[in-house]
Amino acid sequence: MTHRFFSTLALCLCAVALAAAGAVQDRKGGEDIAGPYEPVANWPQPLGHPGYTWGSMGGVFAETPDRVFLLQRGELPVPAKPFEGYPMASPATSGQPRLQNCILIVNREGKVVETWTQHDHLFQGGRGPHKVKISPYDPEKHVWIIDDLREQVFEFTHDGKRLVMTLGEAGIAGDDAKHFAGPTDIAWLPDGTFFITDGYVNTRVVKFDPAGKFVKTWGGKGSGAGQFNLPHSIDIDRNRRLYVADRQNGRVQVFDEQGTFLDEWDNIVQPFHLIVSPDQHVWVSDGVTNKFLQFTTAGRLLSSWGTYGSMPGAFFGVHQFSVDSEGNVYVAEAFGGRAQKFAPRKDADKALLMPPMKNVM
């Protein structure tokens, strides 16, 4: 009797296992679009401005999972019909943007929780803000915003109520100590010394002391060591080495803090943005192949993922990306005209994930 009971139980368990296996085996289709991540649905939520929708996204920065900065290059009129397919032209340029609500802050659900409309006037005459960051070494968490077309860099208080410092002269390009010509990004050393990639026209890196006083500059137009053709992003590792995304030259260049050339990694189609993660890997978004690339600090490619397209999880020109303290990844698509949030897949190989970022080291 006992033998017969356990034999029957074994047959039942076997049948359940086979049914479960069959359910997986019978599943058809599917693609690994977002690599080790899953796109978060309905993030961000609709803009909520009648007649208008999200525009071209220049920047994103996740201070915390519940305070994510989004920079849009003006909100766009809602199109007569939904955008579909793979465009020759960007959906983000399908209408005339109005430079309103350029700086917005959303929470983990993608709901707008702060609007910095008091600063919209700073971007009039340009195309809107370019990138946004907070220094990981600043206990006051001041917010820095780059405006490439108006030739300025702004430092705001954490709440956005006060403009602390302005570098550059509005609408006036120059290559001296007080002017920019197409600035693109910013990065800091632990003591507050900072570096700005002055990229679209000047093709240089500019070094400032913690008080914003000009220290030195290096670069120039060209493809040689230490020259640039659109330095579009910059970050710094724990050994104080600077990594610069030399976008139109299709490479990353590495320097010491004095501007001495150390290394270059070529064969990257167009690096739009890069960050050095806490585990000292360099992550790059390629705006043409629409892939994320993971490198060692010596330039060895470890992994890549990403797909071009307008469907959830695909990309069209990731202009800036950020990682929060929970490991969620946020992207701002300049050409796709949207922001997206990605959560790590539960079954993902952790070696392929961007590590959570710390707000202040």
pLDDT at residue number 20? 39
pLDDT of residue 5 exceeding 80, the answer is no
By C-alpha distance, which of 261, 255, 204, 211 is closest to 228?
Answer: 204
**Domains, the chain, with CATH or none:** 33-352 (2.120.10.30)
Cβ atoms within 10 A of the Cβ of 273, count? 28
Q: Exposed/middle/buried for 311, CB within 10 Å: 0-12, 13-18, 19+?
A: exposed
Tell me the three state secondary structure of residue 307: coil
- Alpha helices by DSSP H, 180-290: none
- Taking only the tens place, the pLDDT of each residue in 69-118 is 999 999 988 877 655 543 433 455 567 889 999 999 999 999 999 999 99
pLDDT at residue number 27? 54
Distance separating alpha carbons of residues 77 and 22, to the nearest angstrom: 49
State percent of the chain over pLDDT 70.
Answer: 88
pLDDT at residue number 92? 57
| Per-chain mean pLDDT for the chain | 90
Amino acid at site 18: L
pLDDT at residue number 39? 97
Distance separating alpha carbons of residues 84 and 87, to the nearest angstrom: 8
Distance separating alpha carbons of residues 110 and 86, to the nearest angstrom: 25
pLDDT of residue 219 exceeding 60, the answer is yes
- C-alpha of 167 from chain center: 23
Token pair 């600035």: residue: 183
By C-alpha distance, which of 127, 126, 101 is closest to 115?
Answer: 101
Residue 275 or 15, more confident: 275
By C-alpha distance, which of 192, 196, 213, 187 is closest to 137?
Answer: 192
pLDDT of residue 14 exceeding 70, the answer is no
The pair phi, psi for residue 84, each rounded to 5°, is: -135, 150
Residue 359 or 219, more confident: 219
CA distance to 48, 238, 253, 320, per residue, from 338 (Å): 15, 32, 29, 12
Distance separating alpha carbons of residues 271 and 249, to the nearest angstrom: 9
pLDDT of residue 253 exceeding 70, the answer is yes
pLDDT at residue number 32? 84
- Taking only the tens place, the pLDDT of each residue in 20-55 is 344 445 557 778 899 999 999 999 999 888 888 898
Q: Side by side, which strands form the sheet with 214-219? A: 183-188, 194-198, 204-208, 214-219
CA distance to 8, 100, 177, 264, 314, per residue, from 244 (Å): 67, 31, 20, 9, 25
Predicted TM-score (pTM) of this structure: 0.89
Compute the C-alpha angle 313/303/263, nearest 5°: 120
Q: Which residues pair with 69 in a beta bridge?
A: 61, 105
Distance separating alpha carbons of residues 337 and 97, to the nearest angstrom: 11
Tell me the three state secondary structure of residue 96: coil
pLDDT of residue 138 exceeding 90, the answer is yes
Residue 35 or 359, more confident: 35
pLDDT of residue 355 exceeding 70, the answer is yes
Q: Which residues pair with 70 in a beta bridge?
A: 60, 104
Residue 4 or 171, more confident: 171
The mean per-residue pLDDT over the stretch 245-259 comes to 98
Residue 52 or 175, more confident: 175
The mean per-residue pLDDT over the stretch 151-159 comes to 98
The mean per-residue pLDDT over the stretch 142-153 comes to 98
Residue 262 near residue 296 (C-beta atoms within 8 A): no
- Taking only the tens place, the pLDDT of each residue in 229-248 is 999 999 999 999 999 999 99
Q: Regarding beta strands 318-323 and 329-333, do their DSSP bridges make them parallel or antiparallel, or are they unpaired?
A: antiparallel
By C-alpha distance, which of 332, 309, 306 is closest to 319?
Answer: 332
Residue 198 near residue 208 (C-beta atoms within 8 A): no
